[in-house]
Structure 1
Amino acid sequence: METRRRSVVKAVVWNAMGLAVMTLVGLIATGSAAVGGALALINTAIGLTLYVIYERVWAGISWGRNG
């Protein structure tokens, strides 16, 4: 089983990459770094929260694990 710390670190790293991509997409879509960055931050905050919950739920499910 994964520790909570590992789940959180994985989520933070994944969302940092997503933040960079979404900032670029937001900038391209809106033409504004401020609006693009704000959209990216909101998306990242929501995504990080949901990802941590998702990982913790799956950490408690034994289906598909060897051993």
Structure 2
Amino acid sequence: MESKLRTIAKAITWQALGLAVTGALAWFHTGDMITALSFALSTAVSGLAFFIVHERVWARVRWGIGAVSTSQEAVKSLI
């Protein structure tokens, strides 16, 4: 399981990218910089919070996580 700090760092970098894209798109569609920034910031803050919660919940889910097999074992399982 990854650390909480790593999860937060990933969330912040992802939201920074999303903030830039959302801000640019909102500005393009509204023509108003203040409205665009307000919209982009509100989506970034809510997205950041939900991303952190989502990642921490999935970090506790064991489904789909198995032992790492060697390539020979993987090939044998396919045959």
User: TM-score normalised by the shorter chain: which range applies?
Assistant: over 0.9
Q: Following the alignment from structure 1 to structure 2, what is the Cα–Cα distance between the partners of residues 36 and 65?
A: 41
Q: Deviations over 1:3-31 (max 9, x none)?
A: 10111000000000000000001101100
Q: Following the alignment from structure 1 to structure 2, what is the Cα–Cα distance between the partners of residues 53 and 13?
A: 16
Aligned counterpart, 1:64: 64
Root mean square deviation of aligned Cα: 0.7
Structure 1 stretches of 4+ with a deviation exceeding 6 A read none
Could you say which structure has the larger radius of gyration? Answer: 2
Aligned counterpart, 1:50: 50
Aligned counterpart, 1:20: 20
- Aligned-pair identity in percent equals 36
Residue type of the alignment partner of 1:35: T
Q: Following the alignment from structure 2 to structure 1, what is the Cα–Cα distance between the partners of residues 64 and 6?
A: 20
Structure 1 unmatched runs, 5+:
none
Q: Following the alignment from structure 1 to structure 2, what is the Cα–Cα distance between the partners of residues 39 and 52?
A: 20
Q: What TM-score results when the alignment is normalised by the length of structure 2?
A: 0.81
Structure 2 unmatched runs, 5+:
68-79
